[in-house]
């Protein structure tokens, strides 16, 4: 999956100004490769996998040489994130002898439309527009906040909730157990997350 995403990023010439187009192209290509126009049940898993790969590629290409690492599928047993329920990403900093866990990142992204037989098919409630998706992300944030009270926690999504119960829940959690809900297509959101992590790597916040 990541090779496919990297090829799209290289071909398109990924920049901060074309992230949405990059995502759309990726989801369309994944849909084509995995026959997702017909295999509805496989969509959620494949789009989730594709979005994780997009996040990795965006960080690698647009934020090189950060001085800290994004580790995929990170086990955090004391927060009950293990055995298939690992954190999507963890941020670690420092030397191998003094490695510090700085942040946990949850990724929630999917297509809002895909091209099928030459027609754009609209898909319902991608990213953080689904209340059950929001509830799962908030549950993970709560688990991390209880196990690691000083840990940063971010949700990176393709679509932020803008109304209804999904937005209400996000508003309750953001600034409390969630440091920021990041719209991956908004450069300022990404910059804010990266700068917060940078600050944490040089502060005494982590215990």
Which residues form the domain of 195?
Answer: 2-201
Q: What is the CATH number of the domain that holds 81?
A: 3.40.91.80
Mean pLDDT (the chain, rounded): 94
Does the residue 206 lie in any domain? no
Query: Is 42 a residue whose pLDDT tops 70?
Result: yes
| 83: in domain | yes
Query: Tens digits of per-residue pLDDT, 154-207?
Result: 999 999 999 999 999 999 999 999 999 999 999 999 999 999 999 999 874 444
Q: Is residue 96 part of a domain?
A: yes
Domain-embedded: residue 65: yes
Residue 179 CB partners (closer than 8 Å, separation 6+): 103, 152, 153, 154, 196
CA atoms within 13 A on the CB side of 74: 22
Query: Is 207 inside any structural domain?
Result: no
The number of domains in the chain is 1
pTM, rounded to two decimals? 0.94
Residue 31 within a domain? yes
Position 132 in a domain: yes
Residue 56, in any domain of the structure: yes
């Amino acid at each position: 999956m990541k090779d496919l995403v990297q090829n799209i990023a290289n071909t398109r010439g990924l920049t901060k100004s074309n992230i949405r187009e990059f995502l759309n192209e990726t989801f369309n290509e994944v849909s084509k490769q995995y026959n997702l126009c017909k295999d509805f049940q496989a969509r959620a898993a494949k789009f989730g996998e594709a979005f994780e790969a997009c996040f990795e590629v965006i960080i690698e290409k647009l934020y090189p040489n950060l001085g800290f690492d994004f580790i995929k599928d990170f086990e955090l047993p004391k927060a009950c994130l293990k055995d298939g329920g690992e954190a999507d990403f963890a941020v670690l900093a420092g030397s191998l002898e003094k490695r510090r866990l700085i942040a946990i990142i949850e990724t929630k992204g999917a297509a809002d439309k895909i091209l099928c037989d030459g027609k754009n098919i609209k898909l319902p409630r991608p990213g953080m527009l689904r209340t059950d998706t929001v509830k799962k992300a908030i549950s993970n944030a709560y688990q991390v906040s209880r196990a690691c009270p000083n840990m940063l926690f971010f949700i990176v999504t393709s679509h932020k909730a803008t109304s209804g119960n999904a937005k209400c829940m996000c508003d309750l959690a953001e600034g409390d157990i969630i440091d920021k809900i990041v719209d991956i297509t908004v450069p300022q959101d990404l910059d804010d997350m990266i700068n917060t992590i940078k600050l944490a790597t040089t502060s005494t916040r982590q215990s």
